[in-house]
């Protein structure tokens, strides 16, 4: 009865993985571990990048934005998932659903564009190393980051109101573990084929242009790397770009599957598992493959720890 009253008040039921109760217990543990590690990893990147002067470079400027996006994105989703996985209550308020959709959609679009900006940064660093400091000035970095945030949340501000105001005729059960556009659209009781085409068009734009810029950037990078005669120089250049390509591959492959590929009617479970990977894996591995294996970052962390210890010893004396 409580659930009926709740949904009649405008809330939703997140079905999630409730059809497999045994799986919910396993997922609760894994998601909790992933969430805590993600907070620790991305928080460390943000903290070190801000406190270590030698990391005040365009590369780490963009990485800080990426870490903040990942940290915010996973925080917007994981706590609600943990609450729903722990007990029988799978509800989320209408306002909570709107906020979750607005933030996740905006952050997803921002990350799409930001990854392209990071590819451009790597292109300038490798193809024009002598002019890198001149070209990638702080003002330009802030402009590129601002463009990413504005484009991402402009798209979200357009689609969130449309998605949340679709007639649902009392349908309140979202066959997903968080509020996302495709499963919410499935609740609509009117013809939304034109809106689906619009979603695909905007999704394609957010994928085609960034991916095109990434391909062009790395095409030129590959050309420059092939011209490097020393094996050490090639290895360093490839190491600089390999991490970014890994993140790009994981991020865009899952986005394409969720938003652009046609799926059969009974593929809800597969879609949910792909979405789970998309929301948990990249935010966790980004700090690892980008920076935590990076010598500069490890050295910065070591120096900050030593400084903290020395300060503590002085205060104790």
- Tokens 């968080």 label which residue? 178
Q: Which residues pair with 91 in a beta bridge?
A: 13
What percent helix, strand, coil does the chain show, rounded to 5? 80, 0, 20
What pLDDT sits at residue 11? 85
> Does residue 152 contact residue 109 with C-beta atoms inside 8 Å?
yes
| Sheet strand arrangement including 173-174 | 91-92, 12-14, 173-174
Residue 270, CB half-sphere, CA atoms under 13 Å: how many?
A: 10
What pLDDT sits at residue 89? 82
What pLDDT sits at residue 96? 92
What pLDDT sits at residue 5? 38
CA distance 101 to 230: 49
What pLDDT sits at residue 265? 54
> Does residue 286 contact residue 247 with C-beta atoms inside 8 Å?
yes
What pLDDT sits at residue 232? 62
Say how far residue 284 (Cα) sits from the centre of its chain.
Answer: 10
CA distance 273 to 184: 17
Domains of the chain: 11-296 (1.20.1070.10)
> Does residue 137 contact residue 195 with C-beta atoms inside 8 Å?
no
CA distance 190 to 186: 10
Q: From first to last of its 317 residues, what are the pLDDT tens digits of the chain?
A: 344 434 344 689 998 887 778 888 899 999 999 999 999 989 988 988 888 887 888 988 999 999 999 999 999 999 999 988 887 888 899 999 999 999 999 999 999 899 999 989 988 988 888 888 899 999 999 999 999 999 999 989 999 999 998 898 888 899 888 998 888 988 988 888 888 888 878 777 777 888 888 888 888 887 787 776 666 666 666 666 666 677 777 777 777 776 666 655 546 677 788 788 888 888 888 888 766 556 667 777 777 777 666 665 555 45
Closest CA to 176 of 167, 165, 185: 185
CA distance 152 to 147: 8
| H helix runs in 165-294, sequence order | 181-185, 193-226, 231-259, 268-287
What separation in angstroms does the CA of 190 have from each of 167, 203, 242, 267?
A: 7, 22, 46, 22
Neighbours of 77 (CB within 10 A): 24
CA distance 83 to 92: 10
CA distance 177 to 83: 11
The beta-strand segments (E) located in 37-170 are: 91-92
What pLDDT sits at residue 9? 44
> Does residue 42 contact residue 107 with C-beta atoms inside 8 Å?
no
């Amino acid at each position: 009865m409580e659930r009926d009253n709740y949904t009649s008040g405008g809330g939703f039921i997140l079905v999630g993985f409730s059809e497999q109760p045994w799986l919910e217990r396993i997922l609760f543990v894994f998601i909790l571990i992933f969430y805590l590690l993600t907070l620790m990893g991305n928080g460390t990147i943000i903290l070190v990048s801000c406190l270590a002067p030698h990391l005040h470079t365009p590369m780490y400027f963009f990485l800080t934005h990426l870490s903040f996006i990942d940290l915010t994105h996973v925080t917007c989703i994981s706590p609600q998932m943990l609450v729903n996985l722990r007990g029988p209550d799978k509800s989320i308020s209408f306002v909570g659903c709107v906020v979750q959709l607005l933030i996740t959609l905006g952050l997803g679009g921002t990350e799409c564009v930001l990854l392209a900006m990071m590819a451009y940064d790597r292109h300038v660093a490798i193809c024009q190393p002598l002019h890198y400091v001149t070209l990638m000035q702080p003002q330009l970095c802030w402009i590129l980051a601002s463009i990413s945030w504005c484009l991402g949340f402009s798209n979200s501000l357009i689609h969130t109101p449309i998605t949340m105001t679709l007639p649902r005729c009392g349908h309140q059960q979202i066959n997903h573990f968080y509020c996302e556009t495709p499963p919410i659209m499935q609740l609509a009781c009117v013809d939304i084929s034109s809106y689906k085409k619009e979603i695909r068009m905007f999704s394609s734009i957010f994928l085609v242009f960034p991916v095109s810029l990434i391909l062009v950037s790395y095409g030129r990078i590959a050309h420059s790397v092939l011209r490097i005669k020393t094996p050490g120089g090639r290895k360093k250049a490839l190491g600089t770009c390999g991490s970014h390509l890994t993140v790009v591959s994981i991020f865009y492959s899952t986005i394409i599957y969720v938003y652009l590929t046609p799926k059969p009617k009974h593929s809800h479970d597969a879609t949910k598992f792909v979405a789970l990977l998309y929301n948990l894996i990249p935010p966790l591995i980004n700090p690892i493959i980008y920076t935590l294996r990076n010598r500069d970052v490890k050295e910065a962390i070591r120096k900050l720890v030593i400084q903290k210890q020395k300060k503590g010893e002085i205060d104790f004396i």
